[in-house]
Chains A and B, each alone.
Chain A
């Protein structure tokens, strides 16, 4: 069974540009989460999808971040325009059900904004 995959693995962009990160959850997992770790900080929750609906987006830092999950399969996280402080590693995780079930994490996308 394939795990959670994320694309790209690395992205280097200039301040002001747009970047789109993609996450493919484990097949059949209705729950999809985005997290990120910015330099020197702890891993922070961004948002949670249940199928195509946003269940919790309390961790989204500002309106430069847009997450979508059309059709309830893969998800994209767009940063527009990117700022220097957006640099970090963005993780995606999925689980079959919400609540207390374990989350399976992808390897992350390392974003560098110069």
Chain B
């Protein structure tokens, strides 16, 4: 499976948009980009996923570059409750579901 690279940490001001980058330069044509997050002392939580088109749901937007070698998760209006570790994960379409977590990005939203 393709590997992902994320910044170790980033800060974001409450109410502002948080833009979380992820590099996946070795991604294959059948691999999807997934985002999960883990709020302290909770289990990981699914956020969003996409293949090549941009996606949006009630939590976030996912922007995937045309060459699919990188993506950005956007939290449009960050709140203090968005403080968490965010994981960018690449999964093949024929996957049985195993998630391969990396180190993720620690996002701290400040007042």
A→B interface (CB under 8 Å): 4, 31, 33, 35, 42-45, 48, 55-56, 58-59, 91, 93, 95, 98-108
Report the bound CA distance from A105 to B93 in whole Å: 21
Decide if A102 touches B102 in the complex (CB within 8 Å). no
A100 in contact with B46 (CB, 8 Å): no
- Expressed in whole angstroms, the minimum distance between the Cβ of B5 and any Cβ of chain A is 14
> How many interface residues does B have (CB within 8 Å)?
21
The winner among B32, B42, B43, B49 for most chain A CB atoms within 10 A is B43
Residues of chain B contacted by A103 (CB below 8 angstroms): 44, 46, 97, 99
Q: Which residues of A contact B102 (CB under 8 A)?
A: 42
In the complex, are the beta carbons of B45 and A101 less than 8 A apart? Answer: no
Interface centre among A33, A103, A106 (most CB of B within 10 A): A103
For A108, list chain B residues within 8 Å (CB): 42-43
Where the two chains meet, the residues of B that have a C-beta atom closer than 8 Å to any C-beta of A are: 32, 38, 41-46, 49, 91, 93-103
Main secondary structure of the interface of B (DSSP, over half): loop
Among the listed A98, A99, A107, which residue makes an inter-chain contact with B43, where contact means beta carbons less than 8 Å apart? A107
Contact of A100 (CB < 8 Å), options: B43, B44, B91, B103: B91
Write the nearest CB–CB distance from A61 to chain B, whole angstroms: 15
How far apart sit A35 and B44, CA to CA, in the bound complex (Å)? 11
Q: How far is the CB of B32 from chain A (nearest CB, A)?
A: 6
What are 5 sample pairs from A and B whose C-beta atoms fall under 8 A apart? A35-B101, A48-B98, A59-B98, A95-B97, A99-B97
Inter-chain CA distance A82–B108, complex, in Å, is 35
Q: Which residues of A contact B43 (CB under 8 A)?
A: 4, 91, 93, 105-108
Task: Give me the 5 closest cross-chain CB pairs, A-B, nearest first.
Answer: A105-B43, A102-B46, A43-B101, A98-B97, A45-B98
